[in-house]
Amino acid sequence: MTWEEYYTGLNLIIPDNVDPPEPAYNIAPTQIAPIIRLVPEGDGPDQTARELAPAMWGLVPSWWHKPLKEKTFSSFNARCETVDTSNAFRGAFRHRRCLVPASGYYEWTGQKGAKTPFAIGLKNRRWFCFAGLWDRAMIDGSEIDSFTILTTVPNDATAGLHFRMPVILHPSDYARWLDTSRKDVEALFEPFPAEDMNIWVVGSAVGNVRNQGQDLIREV
């Protein structure tokens, strides 16, 4: 499945001032990436549509008004166990959930100075979505939209690589996660089934965020 087919299947609204995203193979915190969020549609209070929007990876809470360079706390990941009580994330968790589309992610393991990078995706090679939160802050007179990705305990396939893994949602749960009136979402934080995941070694070029291209995800 191509990324165009995936986005089409999600029935997204793409605003006129937003270009459809090009495939990226090495996205790092502070960079801009696409998210999927709900926006009002029509006059009814429950009428919403899914919008594809650009946002910065690394959530900036709406209450933060200082320059970004003064922000010292890490916010590109949010632990699912504390997301509803964290000062940085609880507002977004209650009001601004989002989906973060991806085809995979990287983890590194091994001794310092000799770590091996791994790519992690689904066995069916399809696109999927992480559970995310987004927020909007006013910094120096400009609005900044940003997001974070929720993490949970690892499954058996990823436990040897890292003590956390992203919350990967099943497509049947996308609507439930986006609906902030739904508070019963803890079950969505279960680690994605290990038997449905694929892990392979990739080259060290992924360690430089300036490197891009499909060669980065080739098995070595």
Q: How would you write the pLDDT of the chain (220 residues) with one tens digit per residue?
A: 556 666 666 777 766 666 667 789 999 999 999 999 998 876 656 778 999 999 999 999 999 999 999 999 999 999 999 999 999 999 999 999 999 999 999 999 998 888 999 999 999 988 899 999 999 999 999 999 999 999 999 999 999 999 999 999 999 999 999 999 998 999 999 999 999 999 999 999 999 999 999 999 999 9
**Which pairs from 1-5 meet CB under 8 Å and 24+ separation?**
1/125, 1/126, 1/127, 3/101, 3/103, 3/127
User: Strand pairing of 168-169 and 116-122?
Assistant: unpaired
Beta carbons of 146 and 62 less than 8 angstroms apart: no
- CATH hierarchy code of domain 3-103+127-191: 3.90.1680.10
- pLDDT of 125 reads 85
Ordered alpha helix ranges (H), the chain: 3-9, 90-95, 174-178
User: Do 27 and 57 form a contact (C-beta atoms < 8 A)?
Assistant: yes
Q: Identify the CA nearest to 161 among candidates 217, 112, 108.
A: 108
Single pTM value for the model:
0.93
State how far the Cα of 143 lies from the Cα of 145, in Å rounded to an integer.
7
